[in-house]
Chains A and B, each alone.
Chain A
Amino acid sequence: MAINNRGQAALADSLYFLMIVSGLATFLFFFASSYGIGVTERVGLEYRSDYAVSALKTLLYSSTPRISGETLETATEVDFLLAAMKEDFADNGQFDDVNRLVVNNVVGLMEPIADSFNYMYYIYLPGENKFAFLMLYVSQWTWTEVRGSQVDVSPGESVVFLCNPKALNKLDELVTNIGRIYQSNSRMQLVKIKETGGRGYDVFPAQVNLTMWVSTALPETDSGNILDSSHLNCNPKCFLRLRNGRWEEC
């Protein structure tokens, strides 16, 4: 009997060995497959955040012609964009004349990534708990029905809205529902000439922010469209529209 079992122990040992090696190989395979995913994500995150920081800095450094319609190269007089904004705000405590200028500058800076990213740029006055300026660039997605579900298939035209949310927390409804965001912040001071006529001005500390995210359909809220007056309070008529690669007035 013992003679008939000769070799069976060696066979069992080799099967154990095979089992252990298979386990080890499986572990190695999954480890190798997932190796570096975190680093790759981190590098991508760093790059996009860097883009947002560079864009905001460039915007704050940029010059603009004093006379509308001129180019920087041929302008009779140039000034910093920031100076033009402050000057406009000083008159009545809001931005009126420079809106188009700011939108054009922001859109120009973000154009290289605008195919795949949406973004917003705002100036918030913490002391007043109100927004002095907010522009939102979004891709409008076309929807199609696949097996009974609505699926967003492709971004259609892109539009710029000017919005004026009633409070800072209204932005949470947007930023918590659009995936990962990449943002840059800066501080500035705005002043407003006192209305009483005499000399002097009121100072408004302001927070400037540029936030971008991978292009996605805007989230719906329980009470309707996020662009509505109870949420982001955007002007229903868009400010600019990008159609077939060309910008148009809305």
Chain B
Amino acid sequence: MMRTKKGFLGPIGDDLPSLIPLVFALTIFFYIFTFTWNTFDEKNRSFDNDISILRVSSILKGNSYIPNYSTFVERCNEANSVKRISFKAGLLPLYVRRDNSFEGIDIEELDFFSDPETGDTYVCSNTDEEPVLGTHEILVRFFPVALERDYRDEDGRHFFVKPMLLVVIAWQ
């Protein structure tokens, strides 16, 4: 009787050494599983944001030609259908004379182009909020576009096409 109980610690105690690697393996597995799940989730969210900002940019840009302010507003209304992200977009002037130069994009101090003839400001947004650096995860995309502008003189109505920069800032 004594012989048969030699080394026997009970039904659980007998398997205790094997439980240690088992628990260790399960810990590793669930840790990596959670890590993978979070990575997928984060990257998928990032892809969705990328796709959303590209959609907004693509709608606003059209064929890279903005014939007038009403077309810009129409495109803006269409872009507002993209709900996944908050965005603010507008036009900044590009200069082709070397005595002026592009001043860069300051996200917190954006001064979008306003037509001096009509007073129309080329800005489009689907939110009243402003992007805050350090708080929001911010994406910025920009593209050159051609903006047609009118002017009138004694000879009648004329137009010219000016290069502008379409800036789209998106955040969540």
Contact = CB atoms under 8 A, between A and B. Distances in A.
Contacts of A185: none
Nearest to A29: B32
A14 B22 contact: yes
A11 B18 contact: yes
B4 A3 contact: yes
A39 B162 contact: no
Contacts, number: 157
B25 A39 contact: no
A10 B16 CA distance: 9
Interface in A1-48: 3-4, 6-7, 10-11, 13-15, 17-18, 20-22, 24-25, 28-29, 31-33, 35-36, 39-40, 43, 46-47
B146 A57 contact: yes
A50 B21 CA distance: 54
22 contacts: A6-B7, A7-B14, A7-B17, A10-B14, A17-B22, A28-B32, A32-B35, A32-B36, A36-B44, A39-B47, A43-B51, A50-B57, A51-B142, A54-B64, A54-B143, A61-B65, A62-B161, A62-B162, A73-B151, A112-B104, A240-B98, A247-B98
Interface of A: 3-4, 6-7, 10-11, 13-15, 17-18, 20-22, 24-25, 28-29, 31-33, 35-36, 39-40, 43, 46-47, 50-51, 53-55, 57-59, 61-64, 71-73, 75, 78, 80, 104-105, 107-109, 111-112, 240, 245-247
